[in-house]
Chains A and B, each alone.
Chain A
Amino acid sequence: MKRGLAEMLRGGVIMDVVDAGQAKVAEDAGAVAVMALERVPSDIRRDGGVARMSDPALIEGIKAAVTIPVMAKARIGHFAEAQVLEALGVDYIDESEVLTPADEANHIDKWGFTVPFVCGATNLGEALRRISEGAGMIRSKGEAGTGDIKEAVRHLREILGDIRRITQADPAERYAWAKNLQAPVGLVTEIAETGRLPVPLFCAGGIATPADAALVMQLGAEAAFVGSGIFKSSDPARFARAIVEATTHYRDAQIVAKVSRGLGEAMRGEDARTVETRLADRGW
């Protein structure tokens, strides 16, 4: 059940929104869910300071505005924020590196919650540790708020590359894989047998254009999170719609070309290599 909703989001786009108006734009464009937060990652990056869970009133306003699922972010390890979000009735909690971590050793014990969690990962070991803590969905971290896709590509290739290598490994080598990944051998065995992560793998962090969405879907992501890429573009409604269509028809370059034509300015962005704070390094 916990991963059930994640399966229903597959092939779709989850959009960051900061108010009810943006949530409507997202739903109108065909988003499968929205992520309610006070500032999109690029603004969090610009403003600095401590980034925390959103005001419950903001989350409730967004919930009231749309019929699609609503997600919200809690700080890494901040189980009390997660309890509040569960009490508010959000559909998914993102234990997110975009917010300032509350615990530098431990993530939230997600098995203790009814609401499902999504967590970021930069590699397979991190993904499996989050799953062992109860995450029902994994997303690449990418480098949020940059509009630079290279980190998300790196993370997807890391995760999916190791999955492919594990399926080729001798059964006796699974223990060494578990040791090197710092992950439970049971999950490694499951990957060896199914060739897939035990929960859906989505992409987040740096998607700014329809072609970015088509790229990560072809690499093996099962859905896309788009943060600053929509509401920091010159025409959010059109960008949102175009990214939704490119995510569905990711193998059809004619359609990706059609929706990309005359779209306007994508978010300006910055090179993920030169950012001052690397959000993807948060999480353990």
Chain B
Amino acid sequence: MMVADMSRATLGAEKADPAPVSHALSASLSIGVLALQGAVREHLGALDRLGLRGVEVRHPDHLAGVDGLIIPGGESTAISMLIESAGLREALAERLDGGMPAFGTCAGMILLATDVADGRPDQHFFAAIDIGVRRNAFGRQVDSFETDLAVEGLGAPLHGVFIRAPIVERVGPGVEVLASLDGFEGGPRPVVCRQGRVLVAAFHPELTTDTRLHRLFVTAVMEAKGDEGSATAGAR
């Protein structure tokens, strides 16, 4: 409850922002935020603090030009339905299958997962990362919580805001677990996972001003773009 009385503007502001991403490529980077429902503005704000401009994705055309995509927190059932009705399902599946880097937080993690328990039968998942998750498994809103997390490679602990968060129940062989929570039956629960260029978090880094996970994702997007560039150059 420590942020209950903090304003939207100052949430987590005590942590100094890292410097903007400085790389020759960053100026030309286009990072999409799936903008159908949920904490879209917060992700755009995080990108802004890194000196990048996010692109709102609501239509298949918007997806064509992005180098990577963030799927925000929100209600995964509603986002899933809106993906379908906006005609985004095929375009998204195609880009993700083609290796587009993606970063999913909470509901976004559910949408990127391979199998989902306690979802709706008509809910669509993109199987972009080989994990199995269970929806709302930490509990209802009154059981939402905040805690500091040690995330591999990030140094100082990261403040995690969990809201009706999904639990990762299965981790495939190719998946790295970057952070876990202790104190659960059956051992630690993974809360930050990565497979290739797909990064997922069970909590909401977008609700704090700590942009280190976003930076990690942006680095993966830059690498992917660099690879693409050299592949094109090699083909010439």
Contacts and interface: CB of A to CB of B under 8 A. Distances in A.
Interface of A: 1-5, 7-12, 27, 29-33, 67-69, 86, 89, 91-92, 114-116, 136, 190, 193-194, 196, 198-199, 241, 244-245, 248-249, 252
A32 B81 CA distance: 11
B105 to A, nearest CB: 10
B163 A248 contact: no
A244 B1 contact: no
Interface stretch (B20-28, B69-77, B91-99): B69-77
Given A1-B163, A7-B207, A248-B36, A12 B141 contact: no
Interface string B133-148: 0011000111011100
Contacts of A29: 81
Interface of B: 1-4, 7-9, 35-42, 58, 73-75, 77-78, 81-82, 85-86, 106-107, 118-120, 135-136, 140-142, 144-146, 161, 163-164, 204, 207
A118 B36 CA distance: 23
Nearest to A69: B141
A32 B78 contact: yes
Contact of A1 (B86, B135, B146): B146
Contacts, number: 123
Interface centre among B35, B78, B106 (most CB of A within 10 A): B78
A1 B4 contact: yes
Interface centre among B81, B120, B135, B141 (most CB of A within 10 A): B141
A245 B83 CA distance: 11
A51 to B, nearest CB: 25
Nearest to B2: A1
24 contacts: A1-B3, A1-B161, A3-B4, A4-B204, A5-B141, A5-B163, A8-B73, A8-B107, A10-B39, A10-B41, A29-B81, A30-B81, A32-B78, A67-B77, A69-B75, A69-B164, A89-B142, A92-B141, A114-B142, A116-B141, A190-B7, A196-B8, A248-B86, A252-B58
B74 A8 contact: yes
A95 B216 CA distance: 42
Contacts of A11: 35-38, 40, 74
A67 B120 contact: yes
A253 to B, nearest CB: 14
A249 B161 contact: no
Given A1-B144, A67-B118, A196-B8, A244 B81 contact: yes
A282 to B, nearest CB: 26
Given A7-B42, A193-B9, A12 B144 contact: no
B135 to A, nearest CB: 6
B75 A68 contact: yes
Given A2-B4, A10-B41, A33-B75, 18 more contacts: A1-B4, A5-B164, A7-B42, A8-B73, A10-B40, A11-B36, A12-B75, A12-B78, A30-B81, A32-B74, A86-B142, A91-B142, A136-B4, A241-B85, A245-B82, A248-B37, A249-B86, A252-B58
